[in-house]
Amino acid sequence: MPRLPLRVLVLEDHSFQRALAVRMLRQLGCREVFEAADGAEALALLREAGPVDIALCDLRMDGVDGLEFLQAVGASRQVGSVILCSELSGDLRRSVRQIVSLLGLEFLGDLGKPLCLEALRSLLKKPVPAPATGPVPRPALEAAREDEIRHALQAGQLQPYYQPKFDLRTGQVRGVEVLARWAHPSRGVLPPPAFMPLLERCKLMDALLFGQMELALELHCQMRRHGHAPNMAFNLQAAQLVDDALAPRIRALLVRYGVSGASLTFELTESGLLQAPQTSIKNLVRLRMMGCGLAIDDFGAGFSSLQRLCALPFTEIKLDAEFVRGLGHEPRCQVAISSTLALGKALGMSVVVEGIETQEQRQHLLRLDCATGQGYLCARPMSGGQLLHWLGKQPVCA
C-alpha cells in the first residue's frame, strides 16, 4: 500500500466508529492519523500536534460539537479540507456543507454512516490544499486600497482568465466563461473575492467589464484565425443594467472587433436580479436584440423567482455547483437538477451545470439528460495563451 502524505484528524464521539475510521485511514496509507472524541479535544490536539490536511468530522456530539469545531478551524486555518461523516439527515448535512464553504474551508465530500472504505479511498485521491503553517495572513481585500485597485486597472493587472463550458457527451467546447484575476506584483494571482467588493464600492465594475471585453475579443479574433470561435460569457451585475450607455458601448466593441452578438453571453446572478429595477429590463432586451445570450447564474443558490425568470429574456440557466456536489448521496440534489433541466426545456432555455469534477458526476448528469457542463473535470480557468494551446488539443474530455 503506497503511503499518502496526509495528516488526518478523526473527530468522532462514538469509540467504535472512531476506531473504524482510524483503522481505515491507516489501511489506506495516510502518513499520520489523529483522533479526538469531541471538538474541544480536537482543538487541543491541533494546538499540540499542529495543522492537519483533512478533518474527518462527525457533527452531533456532547460538549463542543462538530459545527463549533469547524467554525474554530475556519478562523485558524489549521485544517486544509473537511470530510463529513454523520448520521444527520441529508438536508441538514447539505446545510453544513454550505457552512463549510462559507468558513473558507475546502469540502472534500460527505460519506455519511456507516463509513465505506472505497468511498473514503476515492475522496483521499482528491487534491487537498495545505493547511496554514504559521499566522493566518490578513485577507488581500483588507490590505487593498482604492488607489491600489485603480492602479491595477490602469496597469493591466486585472486580467481575464477563461474556463470552458463543455458538451457532456462529446467533450467539445460549447463556450468559455471570462473570469477576472488580479496579477498582483507582490501577492501573486488573486481570485475575485480578494478584489471584487472593492471594485464594487469604488464603482469600477464597468471599467473592469470593458477592459476584460477588449482583451477577450482580441483573443476571440486570434481563436477565429485558428478555426475556433467559442461563445464568450461575461459576468454582469444587475446594477450595471441601469446605465443607458451599456448596450451601445457593447455594440461598439462588437463592431470594432468584427464579432457578432451571438458570440457573447452575459451572466447575471439571480440574487442581483431580484433587486434590479424594472428600468434594467430595457438593457436586457437590447442585448438580446443584438443577438447576445443571457444566462441566470448560480441558479438555486439564492432566492429563486420563477416570475422573474419568466419575465426577463434569459436564454440560459446556470445551475449552482452545490447541487452537483450532492448528486451522488443526496436525492434532493438529483430532483433539483432534473427539475431545472425540465424547466429549461419548457422555457426554451439551455441549462449549464456548474462544478463538475468527476467522471461519476458527468455520467450521472448524462443519465439525467443534461447536455452542457462546466468544471474542473474539463478544465480550470486559464490565461488566454493557455486557452489557445488547450483548444488546439481538443477534444480533451471525450
CATH number of the domain where residue 64 is located: 3.40.50.2300
Q: Are residues 79 and 196 in the same domain?
A: no
Per the DSSP assignment, residues forming a β-bridge with 57 are 11, 84
Helix and strand numbers (H, E) in the chain are 17, 14
Q: Are residues 347 and 213 in the same domain?
A: yes
Does some domain include residue 250?
yes
Q: Which of 96, 124, 152 is the last residue of a domain?
A: 124
pLDDT at 301: 60
pLDDT at 396: 40
Q: Give the end-to-end CA distance of the chain in Å, rounded to a whole number.
A: 31
pLDDT at 139: 42
Per DSSP bridges, beta strands 173-184 and 52-57 are unpaired
Q: Are residues 148 and 97 in the same domain?
A: no
Q: Are residues 20 and 118 in the same domain?
A: yes
Q: Are residues 47 and 119 in the same domain?
A: yes
Q: Are residues 181 and 298 in the same domain?
A: yes
Q: How far from 294 is each of 59, 257, 324, 374, 394, CA to CA, in Å?
A: 41, 21, 22, 17, 26
Handedness of CA 97, 101, 104, 110 (dihedral sign): positive
Q: Are residues 109 and 233 in the same domain?
A: no
pLDDT at 310: 74
For the chain, what is the domain count? 2
Cite the beta strand spans of the chain per DSSP E. 4-11, 30-36, 52-57, 79-84, 106-110, 158-167, 173-184, 188-190, 231-235, 264-269, 293-299, 316-319, 350-354, 372-374
pLDDT at 68: 86
pLDDT at 137: 43
Among residues 177, 270, 322, 354, the one annotated as catalytic is: 354
345: nearest Cα among 367, 363, 370, 365: 370
> Three-state SS for 115?
coil
CATH number of the domain where residue 352 is located: 3.20.20.450
Per-residue pLDDT of the chain (398 residues; tens, 9 = 90+): 567 889 999 999 999 999 999 999 999 999 899 999 999 999 999 999 999 999 999 988 887 888 889 888 887 778 989 999 888 777 677 778 778 877 878 888 888 788 889 989 988 888 776 665 544 444 433 446 888 999 999 999 999 999 999 999 988 899 999 999 999 888 888 888 889 989 999 999 999 999 999 999 999 999 998 888 899 999 998 889 888 899 999 999 999 999 999 999 999 876 656 555 656 778 888 999 999 999 988 776 654 557 667 777 899 999 988 889 888 777 888 898 999 999 999 989 999 999 999 999 999 999 999 999 999 988 989 999 999 998 887 654 43
Does some domain include residue 398?
no
Q: Which of 65, 95, 124 is the last residue of a domain?
A: 124
Q: Are residues 54 and 92 in the same domain?
A: yes
Q: Are residues 189 and 289 in the same domain?
A: yes
The DSSP symbol for 343 reads H
**CA–CA dist 77, 130 (Å, integer):** 9
Establish whether 354 is a catalytic residue. yes
Q: Which of 76, 96, 124 is the last residue of a domain?
A: 124
Does some domain include residue 55?
yes
Q: Are residues 163 and 234 in the same domain?
A: yes
Q: Are residues 299 and 221 in the same domain?
A: yes
Q: Are residues 87 and 147 in the same domain?
A: no
**Residue 299 phi/psi, 5° resolution?**
-60, 130
**What range defines the domain where residue 67 resides?**
4-124
DSSP states of 121-181 as a string?
HHHHTS--PPPP-SSPPPPHHHH--HHHHHHHHHTT-EEEEEEEEEETTT--EEEEEEEEE
